[in-house]
Amino acid sequence: MILTAFLRSVGQLGDDARFRRVLYLGLALTIALLVVFYALFLWFIGWISPEALTLPLVGEVRWIDDLLSVGSILLMLVMSVFLMVPVASAITSMFLDEVAKAVEDRHYPALPPAGRVPFGDQVRDTLGFLGILIVANLLALILYIMLPPLSPLIFWAMNGYLLGREYYTLAAIRRVGREKAMILRRRHAGRIWLAGVLMAMPLSVPLLNLLVPIVGAATFTHLFHQLQARAS
């Protein structure tokens, strides 16, 4: 079920003009957000340490002077493993409705139009999910330092749970409302977590992680409808 949802989402990347339009726009905004987050990171480093930061294989890293240097771009690709977690959350919240509609028009054409989630609720959900993701990943840094060999597994398991929770909730709310979405999320917690791990694993691969927000939104749209069909 989960693999089928993922493969259908990937398959739609190449042969759906509207899906590609959302993908390209999402990629552009994802890269822009990564640059912003990275610039803030370098500014913070410069603020706490006025001297240049020296990193292995990269050399000295300053803020504005080195923002577009080759070494800085390489560092940003490495940092994207962590920066893409909040970026993926923000991008998914912004584009899920468009992605879900493209998926439903192609694969579930008999469905009635989905309800619109109020803008205020969208902002609240986005900020809430984003805050939880950032705090959880900051706390997880302690585990990464204490248990380096297990860091990838911790990263995938934790962010799989958090991103799966967000993706499924956003996909379900537009069809069944907030209260029912929460009930369904608890009922299918295991599958949602596994699907979230499938999304979190590419987040740890620079460049490939740029596709996660859009593919994740599409995958969880499929997963929601598959679970609903199985329950009926």
Whether 106 maps to a domain, the answer reads yes
- H or E segment at 104? helix 70-107
Domain count, the chain: 1
Residue 44, in any domain of the structure? no
The answer to whether residue 150 sits within a structural domain is: yes
Q: What is the pLDDT of residue 64?
A: 46
Quick check: is 149 in a domain? yes
Which stretches of the chain drop beneath a pLDDT of 70?
15-16, 41-42, 44-76, 78, 232
44 HSE (CA, 13 A, CB side):
6
| 104 in a structural domain | yes
The 3-state DSSP class for residue 191 equals helix
| Inter-residue contact 167 to 216 (CB < 8 Å) | yes
64 inside domain: no
The predicted pLDDT at position 75 comes to 67
Would you say residue 59 lies in a domain?
no
How far, in Å, CA of 68 to CA of 63, rounded? 10
Query: What domain range includes position 214?
Result: 2-14+79-231
Q: What pLDDT does 208 receive?
A: 81
Q: What is d(CA 45, CA 39) in angstroms, rounded to the nearest whole number?
A: 10
Q: Is 83 contained in some domain? A: yes
